[in-house]
Amino acid sequence: MRHVAVIGSGPAGYYSAEALQKELGEDVRIDIIDRLPVPYGLIRFGVAPDHQSIKAVSRRYEKVALSDNVRFVGNVMVGRDISIPELMELYDAVILATGAPLDRPLELPGSDLPGVIGSAAFVGWYNGHPDFADLDPPLGAEAAAIIGNGNVALDVARILAKTRKEFEGSDIVAHALDALEQSRIRTIHILGRRGPHQIAMTPKELGELGHLEDAAPNVDPADFPPEGDDALLEPGMRKSVTHLRDFAASNAAKRKTINFDFFAMPVAIEGDGKVERVIVERTMLDAELRSVGTGERYAIDCGLVVSCIGYKTPPIEGVPYEHGRGRFANSEGVIQDGLYCVGWARRGPTGTIGTNRPDGFEVAEKIAARFRDGTSAKFGRAGLDALLEGRGVDIVTFRDWQKIEAAEAARARAGSPREKFTHIDEMLDARGGAAG
């Protein structure tokens, strides 16, 4: 019997467990450890609440979680409750699937003003992440600026633009739904430092903006290169640019506007004790398609800035880390003998949920090859339980999570699959409360 610890219960963690089961069958015991009492990481806290079809992938992870040789060990924080060297003593292999939950810093003058919020915090707020449940973003001004031209920028713009009715069927948390309903934001600027041909948005997500009840997307036709150049784009990108051209051609006027501000590089954020404006420099592209400032500057008045410029993995003491790329230093998923990484912790924050699956399989193959000779002298889960019990750590099991989930479903408002608990104490209470 071999013992593997997977740190992180998001997509990369569960795909790794699934792959290990396929590679090693009954000869492996897998503990999936998470710092929160609830599983699924990015699926629960990152994927937009109105994208329930994407969130449904958690049912696939549930199948893995319910198999006999896989265990969820929630409410255990590596670095606080147990260290990596201790885990490596207890398990034959340790896989870091910790994702990339930290914002890449904006590093502009004024980016520390109240009202400048990173996407991890903002997305965490509307998704009920315990770290951000009390964020209370300022929604009282007429305009908001979103920095970045990726899918997260689109998520944030859409969430700011939707009506209460459009959130029906979603699992947005009540505190966000109520605050967004009271929001006075009418103009949402999406600032891209390059042009329409350089966006990192995908067509399906972009197309959604054309069908909002109360908001219309707007693009300045002057920002496009000649239409013939679209033929040179790869098909997905061409579709996205077609959406942008449709937005530019449309004269739909709705109560809210989502403005795509291209060739707009934020250079400073200003305000008296809080955000009041973003100073933007117009850019052009150089021969390598990088943005270069033109020296022309203008101000965009706004009371909220959400920076959606990418994420990084939190470093763990003693684990080699690539600061430039914000991920663990690794060679094809191997950090060192017995220590591996998968998903965004391995590759950096790119790709869709499914992109994490091959990572899991690649690392599982490497682990299986290493296990082929010899047997294990590790204590695995029995050793973990003894150590955590000695430290007074209150482990949350998958059965506990099922009770929490049932309690969330029981308090859901009409049309919503659940009403999430947003504080760790509430989650732990729900486990006890629903037990009887």
d(CA 48, CA 234): 26
Q: Is 308 in the site for ligand NAP (CB under 6 A)?
A: yes
- Applying CB under 6 A, which of residues 147, 176, 244, 278 lies at the interface with ligand NAP? 147
Contacts of 44 (CB under 8 A, 6+ apart): 38, 55, 58, 127, 420
CA angle 86, 92, 96 (to 5 degrees): 70
Q: Is 52 in the site for ligand NAP (CB under 6 A)?
A: no
d(CA 331, CA 428): 38
- Applying CB under 6 A, which of residues 73, 76, 309, 339 lies at the interface with ligand NAP? 309
- Applying CB under 6 A, which of residues 205, 230, 362, 408 lies at the interface with ligand NAP? 205
Task: Pinpoint the alpha helices (H) of 104-261.
Answer: 119-126, 151-161, 174-182, 203-208, 235-249
81 or 261, CB closer to ligand NAP?
261
Task: Pinpoint the alpha helices (H) of 257-355.
Answer: 344-347
Q: How far is the CB of 426 from ligand NAP (least distance, A)?
A: 27
d(CA 119, CA 409): 27
Q: How far is the CB of 7 from ligand NAP (least distance, A)?
A: 21
Q: Is 200 in the site for ligand NAP (CB under 6 A)?
A: yes
Q: Is 148 in the site for ligand NAP (CB under 6 A)?
A: yes
Residues that bind ligand NAP (rule: CB under 6 A) add up to a total of: 22
Determine whether 29 is exposed, middle or buried from the number of CB atoms within 10 Å of its CB (0-12, 13-18, 19+): buried
Q: How far is the CB of 150 from ligand NAP (least distance, A)?
A: 2
d(CA 101, CA 311): 6
CA 95 to chain centre: 19
Q: Is 352 in the site for ligand NAP (CB under 6 A)?
A: yes
Q: How far is the CB of 192 from ligand NAP (least distance, A)?
A: 6
Of the ranges 125-133, 305-313, 364-372, 420-428, which one interacts with ligand NAP (CB under 6 A)?
A: 305-313
Contact letters for ligand NAP, residues 90-129 (x by CB under 6 A): ----------------------------------------
4 or 309, CB closer to ligand NAP?
309
202 or 376, CB closer to ligand NAP?
202
137 or 148, CB closer to ligand NAP?
148
Q: Which residues pair with 259 in a beta bridge?
A: 189, 218
Q: Is 283 in the site for ligand NAP (CB under 6 A)?
A: no
Q: What contacts 24+ positions apart, CB below 8 Å, involve 289-293?
A: 289/194, 289/198, 290/194, 291/193, 291/194, 291/263, 291/265, 293/265, 293/267
- Applying CB under 6 A, which of residues 83, 198, 257, 376 lies at the interface with ligand NAP? 198
Q: Is 310 in the site for ligand NAP (CB under 6 A)?
A: yes
Q: Is 269 in the site for ligand NAP (CB under 6 A)?
A: no
Element (H, E) at 55: helix 52-55
Q: How far is the CB of 392 from ligand NAP (least distance, A)?
A: 37
Task: Tell me which residue of 279, 281, 273, 283 sits closest to 301, measured CA to CA.
Answer: 279
5 or 42, CB closer to ligand NAP?
42
Q: Is 151 in the site for ligand NAP (CB under 6 A)?
A: yes
- Are the C-beta atoms of 328 and 321 separated by less than 8 Å? yes
- Are the C-beta atoms of 155 and 197 separated by less than 8 Å? no
Of the ranges 191-199, 217-225, 244-252, 295-303, which one interacts with ligand NAP (CB under 6 A)?
A: 191-199
- Applying CB under 6 A, which of residues 41, 74, 130, 150 lies at the interface with ligand NAP? 150
Q: Is 203 in the site for ligand NAP (CB under 6 A)?
A: no
Q: What is the DSSP string of 371-406?
A: HSSS-----HHHHHHHHHHHTT---B-HHHHHHHHH
Of the ranges 126-134, 150-158, 231-239, 247-255, which one interacts with ligand NAP (CB under 6 A)?
A: 150-158
- Applying CB under 6 A, which of residues 329, 350, 406, 409 lies at the interface with ligand NAP? 350
Please list every residue from 127 through 146 that binds ligand NAP, using CB under 6 A.
none
* Structure token pair of residue 61: 């992870």
d(CA 97, CA 11): 8
Contacts of 382 (CB under 8 A, 6+ apart): none
Q: Residues in the site for ligand NAP, rule: CB under 6 A?
A: 147-153, 155, 193-194, 198, 200, 202, 205, 308-311, 349-352
